[in-house]
Structure 1
Amino acid sequence: MDELFDVHTHFMPPRLLRRVWAYFDEQGPLIGRPWPILYRGSDAERVELLRSFGVRHFTALAYAHRPGMAVALNEWTLDFAARTPGCLPSATFFPEPDVLAHVDAAIAAGARVFKVHLQVGGFDPREPMLAPVWDRLAAAAVPVVVHAGSGPVANGFTGPGPFGEVLRRHPGLLAIVAHLGAPEFEGFLDLAGEHPGVHLDTTMVFTEFFGGPPASLLPRIRALGLAGRILLGSDFPNIPYPYTHQIDSLRRLDFGEAWLRAVCWENAARLFGVEKMS
C-alpha cells in the first residue's frame, strides 16, 4: 500500500513511555509472555519510521490509568500533534471529578480522537460520571478508541457486555474497538452490526504473534471492511515484529485490493475527514 492511515499508534511523554517499555520487558501480569519491543529510539526517529512504512496519518494514543493523569497527558499529546505533521490530535480521560471539563478542554484544543483502556484503567465504562462524556463525544462526532476486549486478561469491565450498554445508552457515539475486540470477536462484531457508529481496528490481529478470529467470522469481517467499519491499527511502537507484518497479515486474508485499500486508508480517511495526500 502506498498510503496508510494507522489509527492505533502510541506516542507518550518519555518518562511514561519508558515505564510502558519496562512493563513489557518484565512481562508484566497483563503480558505473560516474552514481548520484545522492536521500535524504540526517539519520537522523531519513530515518526520517520512510520513515514518510511507509508503511514501518512497516525495517532498519539496515551491513556490515563488513574485519577490526575489525563490533563497532563492531553497537554503533551496535543502539543506533540501540533508539531508533528500527520499526527491526529489525541487525548484521553478517566472517570474522576471534572472529567467532562477535561474532555471539553481537550476538544477545544483540537482533539480529534480519544483513547480509553478499560483493562489497564480497570474502570467501568458505565460509571455515571462518564455519561455526559459519552454524550459530549457523540455530539462532537469525535471518535474514541476503546480497548474493551478481554485480551490478554479479563476484568469485570471488559468484554462486549459493559461497553455494549454504553452504546445502547449513547447511540450516536463513534467508537473504534481496539484489536477487533479480541478475544470476544463475535460479540464485538455483533455490536458493530447493531450500532452504525461502531468501528473495529485490526491492531495485531491476524499476525503470527497474535492470531485472529475463527474462519467462520471472516465473511463478516470482509463485509464490515468494505462497509467502512474496519480500520488499520498496529500498536506501533510496542510490537514484537516488523511493522509491515501487520499489512502482510491483512493481505494474506485474500479479501482483495479494494478491501485492503478501504481498511488501510479509505475508512479512516472518511471517518476523520482527511483528504488523500497524493
Structure 2
Amino acid sequence: MRDADVPGWWRRLGLEGLVDVHVHFLPDQVMNAVWAYFDQASEHYGTAWPINYRTSVEERLKTLEALGVRAFPALVYPHKPGMAAWLNAWARDFASVTPGCVSSGTFFPEAGASAYVREALEAGTRIFKVHVQVGDYDPRDGELDDVWGQLAEAAVPVVVHCGSGPIPGRHTGPGPFGEVLRKHPSLTAVIAHLGMPEYVEHLALTSYPNVHLDTTMALTPFTEALMPFPRSLTSRLGDLQDRIVLGSDFPNIPYDYAVQLSALESLDLGDTWLRAVCWDNGTRLLGL
C-alpha cells in the first residue's frame, strides 16, 4: 500500500477516516533538534533513520489531511526542567488554530508540575505525553505523584514511552511505570510502541482497566528488523481489540505512513479489529 491508497483503505472499512493518537508537532527549534538527533541515528541506534516527512508545518498538515487523519494530538515532551509549561502553552495554541488537532500537554518531575498540569486540564487538554527515555527521569518521582493522581481522576489519557526501544534508558522497561500503575490503578495510560521491545510485559499491564497500547512503528519492516514482535502474541492483540489504538510517530518515521496500516492489516485480525484500532478506540480516548 502507498500513501495515495490510504483513503481507499479506510473507506473500504466503512470508516470516516483515521484517528492517530501518536503524532508530533513541536516548536520549530525543538523539532529541528529532534531531526538533528535522527540525522545521527546510525551512531545512536546502529541504523539510519531518515525522516520521511521532513517538510514544513503546512505541508505536514496537508499530508495528514490527504491521508484522512481526522484527529490527532501534537504530542510535545521535554528533555529537561523548565520546558513543559512552555510546551503546554504552545501545544494549546497550536491546537486552537489547527483543524483536527486535539490539545495535548506534557510534564517533567519538577516543582510546579502539579500546578501546570492542573492548569492544562482546566484549559481543556485532552491527552498528555511523557517520554521516560528522552526525559531520563523516574516516573515514580515524588514530584509526579499528584500529577498521576490528577490524570487518573480526570480520566485523561497519557501516552507513555516507557519501553526500552529503540535504546534503553535508566528508567525504561515495564517495572518503573508498572509501579506507577500499582499506585494509580485507574490511570488511563497508552503505552507507546506496543511497549517495544518488552512486548509481553507491557501487554500484561492491560490487567489494569484503563491501560491501552498504541501501534506506533510496531510491526513495520523497519522495527521488525530491530525488535521483532513475537507472532505468538498476535492473538493477544486480537483479544485486546478495545485497548489497541493507532499511533504512527508522524512525521518522524523512516517510511511511508501507509506502511503502518499495511503492518496492522497483515496481522489478519479482521476488519472489525481494524475499525476499532484505527477509529473507535482513538475517538473514545480523545473524547471526540
TM-score (norm 2): 0.92
Taking the TM superposition and a 5 Å limit, the aligned residue runs for 1:99-114 are 99-114=113-128
- Other-structure match for 1:40: 54
User: Following the alignment from structure 1 to structure 2, what is the Cα–Cα distance between the partners of residues 272 and 37?
Assistant: 27
- Other-structure match for 1:152: 166
- Other-structure match for 1:250: 264
TM-score (norm 1): 0.95
- Other-structure match for 1:188: 202
Task: Give the SS at the match of 2:213.
Answer: strand
AA partner of residue 218 (structure 2): V
Q: What is the CA distance between 1:197 and its match in structure 2?
A: 0.8
Does structure 2 conserve the Cα–Cα contact (< 8 Å) formed by 1:178 and 1:201? Answer: yes
AA partner of residue 53 (structure 1): L
Does structure 1 conserve the Cα–Cα contact (< 8 Å) formed by 2:126 and 2:287? Answer: no
User: Following the alignment from structure 1 to structure 2, what is the Cα–Cα distance between the partners of residues 15 and 46?
Assistant: 16
- Other-structure match for 1:200: 213
Taking the TM superposition and a 5 Å limit, the aligned residue runs for 1:67-146 are 67-146=81-160
AA partner of residue 200 (structure 1): L
Q: What is the CA distance between 1:29 and its match in structure 2?
A: 5.5
Tell me how many residue pairs correspond in the alignment.
271
2:222 to 165, 184, 209: 209
Does structure 2 conserve the Cα–Cα contact (< 8 Å) formed by 1:90 and 1:113? Answer: yes
1:232 aligns with 2:233: no
Unaligned 5+ runs, structure 1? none
- Other-structure match for 2:68: 54
User: Following the alignment from structure 2 to structure 1, what is the Cα–Cα distance between the partners of residues 252 and 103?
Assistant: 20
Q: What is the CA distance between 1:255 and its match in structure 2?
A: 0.7
User: Following the alignment from structure 2 to structure 1, what is the Cα–Cα distance between the partners of residues 22 and 61?
Assistant: 14
Q: What is the CA distance between 1:28 and its match in structure 2?
A: 6.9
AA partner of residue 217 (structure 1): L
User: Following the alignment from structure 1 to structure 2, what is the Cα–Cα distance between the partners of residues 29 and 168?
Assistant: 37
Q: What is the CA distance between 1:273 and its match in structure 2?
A: 2.4
Does structure 2 conserve the Cα–Cα contact (< 8 Å) formed by 1:179 and 1:203? Answer: yes
AA partner of residue 206 (structure 1): L
* Seq. identity, %: 56
User: Following the alignment from structure 2 to structure 1, what is the Cα–Cα distance between the partners of residues 77 and 286?
Assistant: 20
Taking the TM superposition and a 5 Å limit, the aligned residue runs for 1:256-275 are 256-274=270-288
Does structure 1 conserve the Cα–Cα contact (< 8 Å) formed by 2:51 and 2:251? Answer: yes
- Other-structure match for 2:239: 223
Q: What is the CA distance between 1:155 and its match in structure 2?
A: 2.2
Unaligned 5+ runs, structure 2? 1-9, 12-16
Superposed CA deviations along residues 67-113 of structure 1, whole A, max 9, x for unmatched, are 00011111111100000111110111000001101101111221100
User: Following the alignment from structure 1 to structure 2, what is the Cα–Cα distance between the partners of residues 70 and 115?
Assistant: 10
